[in-house]
Amino acid sequence: MNDEVKKGLLGIVVDETEVSKVMPEINSLTYRGYAAQDLCAACRFEEVAYLILNKDLPNSIQLKKFEKEERENRELTKNLYEIINHMPKKSHPMDVARTAVSVMGLEDKETSNSSHEANMRKALRIFAKTPTAIAAFYRIRKGKKIIKPKKTLSFSENFFYMCFGKVPEKEIVKAFDVSLILYAEHSFNVSTFTARTITSSLSDIHGAITGAIASLKGPLHGGANEEVMHMMKKIKKPENALKWINEALDKKHVVMGFGHRVYKSGDSRVPTMREYFKKVAKIKKDKIFEKIYDIVEKVMIKRKNIYPNVDYPTGPTYHLMGFDTDFFTPIFVISRITGWSAHIMEQHAANKLIRPLAKYKGSTHRKVLQLNQR
């Protein structure tokens, strides 16, 4: 047996996928063969969600049907609203999202049916309901009345509406849509691998997505977009940025929003998101974070040759849109549900239990003493 340890599964290819392809050598990312930036330019988020789940872009009839189903499934049960209402107000919204999806699994009549058809129906229900659960908590913890979803609004418009009671300018909605498209899927990242690992024991989709949310919460994964904002708020003014970043690097701190396991010379999603960050900053007439962004980025590249990942521009963009910082990763969740679901179905279709080995390094052959002798 080869007992060479590959910590973090670094460089290990564990399975095949048709969902997306990350190509660091040419700085590209494709979903089902389409370049993510082309999808951002030509599509609304719902079209990309359909693509990821159904393997092809929808025609207008297919899109209409998909949107109708999504809109009709947005509402939560009275039970789930009550559970969210009783959650501690100080809960992290990622924990609320995780618990909400878990409760959806308790309530779903098809939980134990993991056929492809049932998984498609359940994926759509989780996709439609999770934004409602997150927005409900957004309102509740501020002591505001919950705003129920509105069927006449698109996925992104409806999320703004449920959080803020109104839909912002078209350009802001587009920037949000673009962020969701860029967050939707990214091959075998930690949370997707978690979802696939859970699925590999033939567990259900609600459990796999619940586990994926827990995994996404960590600051080395989805939680980075929140950490970026904490950093930018600490820096406060562009005049402080140079000193702050140089000191952070002198102290060998990890700078959030930079670096990537796969992309080593730039994240292919960053240029598109950077462009929309700029548009949002212009509409909001607030360029402070853009200036901080540029200074920190320049120093990171110059001193460390480490480039930003997509969480670097999404953090300040969501801030300018008006979202509380701890809701940034839950926004990532509402998008990534599409990618996770596609991977869960792919895993089911050609399943092999995921069960790696470990090299044991503990003590050996210890004699068990009776309790009164220890």
Question: Min. distance of Cβ 63 from ligand COA in angstroms?
Answer: 30
Q: Which two tokens stand for residue 30?
A: 């494709």
Taking the least distance from each CB to ligand COA, the nearer of 74 and 260 is 260
Please name which of 224, 113, 187, 227 lies closest in space to residue 336, comparing C-alpha atoms: 187
Instruction: Give CA angle at 198 (122, 75), nearest 5°.
Output: 25
Taking the least distance from each CB to ligand COA, the nearer of 202 and 254 is 254
Piece of 154-162, 231-239, 251-259, 359-367 that binds ligand COA (CB under 6 A)? 251-259
Using CA atoms, how far apart are residues 39 and 48, in angstroms rounded to an integer? Answer: 7
Question: Min. distance of Cβ 247 from ligand COA in angstroms?
Answer: 13
Q: Which residues are catalytic?
A: 260, 311
Judge whether 32 and 52 are in contact, CB under 8 Å: yes
Which helix (H) or strand (E) element contains residue 28? strand 28-31
Using CA atoms, how far apart are residues 62 and 58, in angstroms rounded to an integer? Answer: 5
- Residue 311 binds ligand COA (CB under 6 A): yes
Taking the least distance from each CB to ligand COA, the nearer of 100 and 270 is 270
C-alpha dist (Å) from residue 148 to 65, 75, 104, 124, 351? 22, 7, 17, 18, 39
- Residue 339 binds ligand COA (CB under 6 A): no
- Which residue's C-beta sits nearest to ligand COA? 259
Dihedral sign for Cα 132, 136, 139, 141, please: negative
Taking the least distance from each CB to ligand COA, the nearer of 168 and 339 is 339
Residues in CB range of 215: below 8 A, 6 or more apart: 190, 191, 194, 221
Piece of 207-215, 250-258, 323-331, 342-350 that binds ligand COA (CB under 6 A)? 250-258
Piece of 113-121, 198-206, 256-264, 321-329 that binds ligand COA (CB under 6 A)? 256-264
Q: Where are the alpha helices (DSSP H) in the chain?
A: 36-42, 45-54, 60-72, 78-85, 93-107, 116-140, 155-164, 170-183, 190-200, 205-216, 224-235, 238-250, 270-283, 288-299, 311-321, 328-349
Taking the least distance from each CB to ligand COA, the nearer of 161 and 340 is 340
Restricted to residues 227-246, the positions that interact with ligand COA (CB under 6 A) are none
Taking the least distance from each CB to ligand COA, the nearer of 53 and 256 is 256
- Residue 220 binds ligand COA (CB under 6 A): yes
Question: Min. distance of Cβ 195 from ligand COA in angstroms?
Answer: 17
Using CA atoms, how far apart are residues 281 and 57, in angstroms rounded to an integer? Answer: 31
Question: Among 5, 254, 286, 322, which residue interacts with ligand COA (rule: CB under 6 A)?
Answer: 254
Question: Among 217, 260, 269, 274, which residue interacts with ligand COA (rule: CB under 6 A)?
Answer: 260
Question: Min. distance of Cβ 312 from ligand COA in angstroms?
Answer: 7
# binding residues, ligand COA (CB under 6 A): 15
Cα 319 vs. chain centroid, distance in angstroms? Answer: 16
Piece of 141-149, 175-183, 249-257, 348-356 that binds ligand COA (CB under 6 A)? 249-257
Q: Do you know the residue count of the chain?
A: 374
Question: Min. distance of Cβ 6 from ligand COA in angstroms?
Answer: 12
Using CA atoms, how far apart are residues 206 and 213, in angstroms rounded to an integer? Answer: 11
Question: Min. distance of Cβ 337 from ligand COA in angstroms?
Answer: 18
Judge whether 24 and 7 are in contact, CB under 8 Å: no
- Residue 309 binds ligand COA (CB under 6 A): yes
Taking the least distance from each CB to ligand COA, the nearer of 87 and 242 is 242
- Residue 306 binds ligand COA (CB under 6 A): yes
Question: Among 58, 257, 315, 339, which residue interacts with ligand COA (rule: CB under 6 A)?
Answer: 257
In the Cβ-directed half-sphere of 198, how many Cα atoms lie within 13 Å?
A: 24
Question: Min. distance of Cβ 103 from ligand COA in angstroms?
Answer: 28
Q: Which residues bind to ligand COA, rule: CB under 6 A?
A: 8, 220, 224, 254-261, 304, 306, 309, 311
